Structure formats: structure tokens, C-alpha cells
Amino acid sequence: MYWLAIKTLFHEKGRLVITLIGIVFSTVLSITQIAMYLGMMGNATSILRHIDADIWVAAKNIQNFDFANPFPEERINRVNAIPEVLWSDRLILTWGFLKLANGGQEQVQIIGFNPDTGIDVPWNILAGNPKDLKSGRYMFIDKTSEQRVGRLELNSIWELNDKRFKLIGLSEGIKSFTTSPIVFMSYNQAQSFMTMTGWKSNHASFLVARLKDKSRSRDVAELLKTYLKDNDVFTKEDIIYKTVMYWTVQTGMGMGFFLTAILGLIVGGAIVGQTVYANTMEHLREFGTLKALGAKNSDIYKVIFAQTGISAVAGYIAGSVLILLARDGIEKAGVSLYLSAGLFLALFLVILLTCLLSAYFSVRKVRTLDPVMVFRM
């Protein structure tokens, strides 16, 4: 019966093209929406994921990683008092304005850290050595910021909130959720910088700690909560989750992406369902003949599902290839796409299932088809 499915499917090329267009549309829309969402969530959590810390201490009731509030850095002593802690350090996240060559300015996210500890940022380094950041007013910036701030040349001098910084290194592909360029500098520079915006000089945005045994992170976090009642204490997973949920649920942004992806699936499924159903209706006489000649319902279901499945696979492959071809262009426009084998596989299963479900009405029609009809027409 698969043989018949293939012969019939490719005999009616016009109908096949319409079906494929529906599936390609569905694939492109669904994958790009989900890949954009995952890309943005990847950006929102990239620093959290990359810093090899098991515990994160933040100001009380922070909404997400990007909206950090300062708190006294001396509280790091309480973290260090926990025997399970291998090392700990302070981190600053603040915002500033980078003056541009054309006289304008661009808001940037500033990450201040101690290059001598295990806070291994930035990563994907194109040029420079992060350890040199501690030597003065030096900064790293991400190459992808060029679209926003102009050409980035090593050893060029940039003005950041009226302070002059030398660009000594470039990273590649480190983006923030807000799309603001990320500037890395030493903890001390970031802290002195922070005082310009009214903060006290001995404040930090986060304390991070690496444990001797990662599996104890939940217990240590609970213990630290009893010591640091004026702070929130998270495991790495918890703060990532909180950040993702903030952007996804509290801002409604995630729901927007989700609804568009679902819309893509529904529209694609409707097109496939409609063409498969129209195809079934057009071939009722043939299906009736098949039944009269001794085919079982299951034989005819195989034909319908095989045609739908083949269309789904072909349409999905075509849609995926289109996305991969367009990927560079989309990312150059500043949109982050998270595309992985897992995502392609998961979406394939969803789209295949959608297509097969859309064939349900055709199957129902065939199930009730009376083979006597072949004598009546």
C-alpha cells in the first residue's frame, strides 16, 4: 500500500506542491519562533550558564539576572564560612553609556569581575587576554556589538560615562537579552564606575560560589538562606529558571513567541489537513474500489498516513534547509537563533504529529465508506 501512496502522491504534483508549501510555512514559522525564543533565553542566561558557580547570592527579591540591585560585598565572608565552598567571588552588573564616534551614545551592560578567580568570562575570545583587565581602565567588548557601536579596533580608546577605557580584547557571540552590548572590565573598575551612579563603593551585584561537591548545591543554598536573610540565594539552576520565567511569563514575551509558533503549527496543519481531506474526497471512488476488491480499512489508512507522512518529511526538510540558509542573514540582523539537532528533531516530531492528526478526518471518512458505492457511480 505504501507503493500506491507514493505513486498517487507524486502523480498529482500540483496538490503535492500545495501540501508542501503548507508544511514548509508551518516549519519555518514554528522553528524560527522557537529558535528565536530559545536564542533570546540563551542570551538572557549566557553569563549565568557560563560562569562555573554553583551558588548565586543576589539582593532580595530581584526579578532576574539583568535587574541586579547592589548589596554589601562583605557578606561574602558568610559564604566563605561554609566549609563546602571551594571558592567564592563578587560580581558587578551595572549599566553605562558608551560614547560613539558620531557623538551619540549607546547603553551597555557592564560586567565587573576578578579575572584571577574561577569566573571564566568573557569566553569565545577573538583577541586579548581577560587577565589583563585587572591592570587598569581596560575593557573587553563583544564583536557582535559593532552594529551598535561602530568599528571595534583593539587598543582604541572609548568613553564610558565620561571615563576613558582602552579596548584590549574582543569576544564573539556574547549577547544580553536586552541586546545592549556587554562590556567586561575588572571588578574594581566596575565598582568605581558604579559609585558614579550613586552606589556605595563597597557594594556588589552578586556573590558567586563554587562548591567542592556540586551535588550539595541545594543543601548549601538552603543553609546560606538562613545566614543571609537580606539576600536571595539561588542554585545555578534556580537563578537561570527565575530569569527565564521572568522574560517568558512575567513580560508575556515567551507567550507571544509560543502563540506564534502554535499559530504556525495550526495553519500548517490546517493546510495539510485540508489538502489531504480534499485528496481523500477526490479519491473516494478509488478507495471504495479498493475496499470492494478486498482492501481492509487499515490498508487504506496506510495510504493516507503514508502520503501525509511523506509530505511532512519532505516539507520539513525543505523548511529546515530554508532556515539554515537564512540563518546567517537573520543573525547578522541581530536576531539570535538557537538551532540544534535536538530542536530540529523535536519540531519534526511535533509537525509530523500535527500532519498525521490532520489526516484524521480523511481516515474517518474512509472508515465509514461503503464499498457498495462503486456500483452506484
Minimum separation from the CB atom of position 352 to another protein (A): 24
Q: Could you tell me which stretch among 164-172, 200-208, 323-331, 367-375 binds another protein (CB under 8 A)? A: 367-375
Map the footprint of another protein across residues 41-60, applying CB under 8 A.
none
Minimum separation from the CB atom of position 2 to another protein (A): 10
Q: How far is CA 256 from CA 262, 295, 308, 367, 376, in A?
A: 10, 47, 29, 39, 52
Minimum separation from the CB atom of position 335 to another protein (A): 43
Q: How many residues bind another protein (CB under 8 A)?
A: 24
With respect to another protein, which residue has the nearer C-beta, 301 or 338?
Answer: 301
Q: Could you tell me which stretch among 72-80, 160-168, 214-222, 294-302 binds another protein (CB under 8 A)? A: 294-302
Sign of CA dihedral 326, 327, 329, 333: positive
Q: Per rule CB under 8 A, is residue 84 in the interface with another protein?
A: no
Is 107 within 8 Å of 137 (Cβ atoms)? no
CA dihedral 354, 359, 364, 370 (to 10 degrees): -170
Minimum separation from the CB atom of position 342 to another protein (A): 38
Q: Per rule CB under 8 A, is residue 11 in the interface with another protein?
A: yes
Which of 189, 295, 317, 358 binds another protein (CB under 8 A)? It is 295
Q: Per rule CB under 8 A, is residue 293 in the interface with another protein?
A: yes
With respect to another protein, which residue has the nearer C-beta, 100 or 278?
Answer: 278
Nearest of 91, 69, 122, 95 to residue 193 by alpha carbon: 95
Minimum separation from the CB atom of position 376 to another protein (A): 7
Cα-trace Rg, the chain: 28
Is the omega angle on the peptide bond into residue 70 within 30 degrees of 0, that is, cis? no
- 26: number of Cβ within 10 Å: 30
Which backbone phi and psi does 203 adopt, to 5 degrees?
-110, 150
Q: Per rule CB under 8 A, is residue 371 in the interface with another protein?
A: yes
Report helix angle 297-332 to 284-292, nearest 10: 140
Instruction: Say how far residue 59 (Cα) sits from the centre of its chain.
Output: 26
Map the footprint of another protein across residues 273-292, applying CB under 8 A.
285-286, 289-292
Q: Which residues bind to another protein, rule: CB under 8 A?
A: 1, 3-4, 7-8, 11-12, 285-286, 289-296, 299, 371-372, 374-377
